Structure 1
Amino acid sequence: MNTYNWNAKDYERNSQAQQKWARELIANLNLKGMEDVLDLGCGDGKVTAEIARLVGDGAVAGIDNSRQMIDLAKEKYPQDRHPNLSFHAMDASDLLFEDCFDVAFSNAVLHWVKDHRPVIEGLYKSLRAGGKILLRMGGKGDAEGIISAINDVKASNQWAQYFTEFEFPYNFAGIDEYQVLLKESGFSINRVELIPKDMTHDGKSGLAGWIRTTWLPYTERIPKEKREAFIEAVASNYLDKVPLGADGKAHVAMVLIEVEAEKIT
């Protein structure tokens, strides 16, 4: 999994949609209060802390491969005040746990990983027998409008020089391929589903904030002094095609894949 230079505090300010969707997902876990939970790709830790409050008799470990995110999470949620919560810098493709968790949770992370096989195999190993995974990430067809806008801009004369030998950085998986992967890794499948979502941002500035803090494989290729101009061009291109709604919000059509499975033995 590639490591980008995440601005943890800026991401925290521009990730309300991710947090809202994570809360929906947490409700689906039906936690009883004594589970040990792994939050895979915990980011700044705010969702991980919400899970920890629901499992007062259990424990939650948040992992992320961004040292900036882990440092912010540890600063915000110190262990002396959150004794059942810990954070670790670790790559999703190289999990170092064995028979540790009852639940593994991941929200809006795994589309960053090109090869999901080592992730799923690592999750299987990390769970106790009877443990379950609940994963949500970008799925087949995700964010096509914003990707189209980025592609338009990066192909233009002004920006093309920064994208030589650029490779598409995401894995937006479909249902069939994920079912095969789960079965081959030993999981019993409960549900694999593609779900359309409407992501909203507060006007053009909110859309630009999301592009700046999330679309790093593109923005980090641009020299720092030109980055805001690139982001502005992408936001303008997108809003030309998908204008702000009557509510003043920028609407982005997303497609998420949700995965629920169990480790039976």
Structure 2
Amino acid sequence: MHVLGVPTLSAPISAVAPATLALFLIIPISHSLQSQRWPNRKIDGLPTCVFVVVGGASHLHQIQAYQHSASFVPKLATKVVQWLNLQKDDVLLDIGCGDGILNAEFAKILAQGSGSMHGVDSSASMIEAARELCKGSQNATFDVLDATQLVSKPELQKGAFTKVFSNAAMHWILRPEDTRAQFFKGVYASLAPGGSFVFEMGGFGNVSEMRTAALSAVGRRIGMEAALAADPWFFPDEAWVTKALQDVGFVVERAEREWRPTPTDKGGVEGWIRLMASQFIDAISDEKEREEAVQECVGVLREVCRNPSGRETIHYVRLRGVARKPE
């Protein structure tokens, strides 16, 4: 493992020999905290970071793209983490934990008491990264799991968790319509009576300009039916998610959507399309046509997303909620 200390997120990944790289984890070393209570901690910046590098070279291009076009993503979890209100004795299940950046912070809180945490993600490389990041935490475990199959894991269905958390993952998890109900049933069964499910995901209207541009450009080349089938997301509203939760027994305590216009990263709208909409673009088999589709999207989006000051901004809509399993 190699560890490179850097003061900001702008250190060029290309400065490190590609042969040594597989995965970069952006690890917050410390945050500017006003108190020791988690609800008051601000995660809207990562003032001190290190890059942890593990493995070989296969992920270099992907991580460079992420750093260039989506480094804002971990900064947007402040409110849902406050709603989680994690306590030192909680037993937490994190669905779609990703590379473990938030889990590293959660582990510090749980280490103050008897709490523990189990993170799941469908990506083996993300789980490997989370394990590496949290390897010093005896109260944190991780496992590769497709969250739609949560009900098939008996060890996670015993009602042992006091809280279940999910951030920026459910708009992928809920894409298959036929597994939505079983996902919520799995979450419900995993919670102890009185336990809470706290989540944030893309909500109805999320990145609508980006999604429309991608559907249109890809649909013109492979047909709209195929383009719609390639759409990887499901963005519901408060009414839909409230009913879905109530249908399996939850009491929904709060649900809201928030419009959160977000300036693009260094890669602009082109970087966003290439990274976030890659499943759309990759549905086109011809390489030349794929690039034409990207440029068609970019040509439209540079006009649609440019504000009066000239900055490109994407219209994110977040859907978050808190649901409780009755005592």
* TM-score normalised over the length of structure 1: 0.84
If you compute each CA radius of gyration, which structure gives the higher value, 1 or 2?
2
State the shift of 1:53 in Å. 2.1
Residue 256 (1) aligns with residue 313 (2): no
The answer for the alignment partner of 1:175 in structure 2 is 238
Query: Which of the numbers 145, 162, 173 marks the counterpart of 2:209?
Result: 145
The whole-number CA distance in structure 2 between the counterparts of 1:8 and 1:44 is 14
Indicate whether 1:191 and 2:254 are aligned. yes
Structure 1 residue 244: deviation in Å? 5.2
Identity %: 27
Q: Which moved more, 1:254-263 or 1:232-241?
A: 232-241
Give yes or no for the alignment of 1:84 onto 2:146: no
Q: CA–CA distance in 1 between the matches of 2:99 and 2:213?
A: 28
Describe how 1:48-63 pairs up with structure 2 within 5 A: 48-56=103-111, 57=113, 58-63=115-120
Shift of 1:214: 2.2
Q: CA deviation at 1:173?
A: 1.0
Matches of 2:80 and 2:131, distance apart in 1: 23
Cα distance, 1:10–1:25 mapped onto 2, change above 3 Å: farther
Query: Which residue number corresponds to residue 99 of structure 1?
Result: 159
Q: How big is each residue's C-alpha offset from its partner over 1:129-154, in whole Å with a ceiling of 9 and x where there is no partner?
A: 11101111111111111112213322
Contact 1:104 1:133 in 2 (8 A): yes
Find the counterpart in structure 2 of residue 3 from structure 1.
none
What per-residue deviation string (whole Å, max 9, x for no partner) do you get for residues 94-137 of structure 1? 11202221111111111112232111111111111111011111
**What are the superposed Cα offsets for residues 162-201 of structure 1, whole Å, 9 maximum, x if unpaired?**
8762323322112222222111111111012121111221
Structure 1 CA distance for aligned equivalents of residues 163 and 278 of structure 2? 30
2:185 is aligned to 121
Question: What SS does structure 2 have at the residue aligned with 1:94?
Answer: helix
Distance verdict in 2 for CA 1:11–1:28, change over 3 Å: farther
Query: Gaps (5+ residues) in structure 2?
Result: 1-58
Instruction: Find the aligned partners of 1:9 and 1:201 in 2 and give their Cα distance.
Output: 17
Structure-2 change in CA distance of 1:175 and 1:54 (3 Å): same
229-238 or 84-93, larger mean C-alpha shift: 229-238
Q: Normalized against structure 2, the TM-score is what?
A: 0.69
1:161 to 222, 235, 239: 222
Pick 1 or 2: higher relative contact order, CA cutoff 8 A, min separation 6. 1
Cα distance between partner residues in 1 of 2:312 and 2:65: 18
- Residue 248 (structure 2) pairs with residue 212 (structure 1): no
Cα root mean square deviation, aligned: 2.5
Aligned to 2:304: 241
**CA 1:110 to 1:67, structure 2 compared with 1: closer, same or farther past 3 Å?**
same
Distance 2:66 2:276 in 1: 11
Deviations 1:57-85 (A, max 9, x none): 3122111111222222223x152x12222
1:73 to 122, 130, 136: 130
CA contact (8 A) 1:8 1:68 kept: no
Determine the C-alpha separation between the residues in 2 that align with 1:11 and 1:89. 24
1:17 to 72, 84, 103: 72
- Go from structure 1 to structure 2 and tell me whether the alpha carbon gap of 1:69 and 1:209 turns closer, same or farther (over 3 Å shift): farther
Q: Is the CA contact (8 Å cut-off) linking 1:245 and 1:251 kept in structure 2? A: no
Structure 1 SS opposite 2:319: strand
* Match in the other structure for 1:42: 97
For 1:83, what is the secondary structure of its paired residue? coil
Check 1:15–1:38 CA distance in 2 against 1; reply closer, same or farther (3 A cut): farther
- Indicate how the Cα distance of structure 1 residues 144 and 102 shifts in structure 2: closer, same or farther if over 3 A, else same: same
Shift of the 245–42 alpha-carbon distance from structure 1 to 2, 3 Å rule, reads farther
Paired with 1:245 and 1:60, the residues of 2 have a C-alpha distance of: 45
Gaps of 5+ in 1: 1-5
Q: Find the residue that maps to 2:279 and give its secondary structure.
A: helix
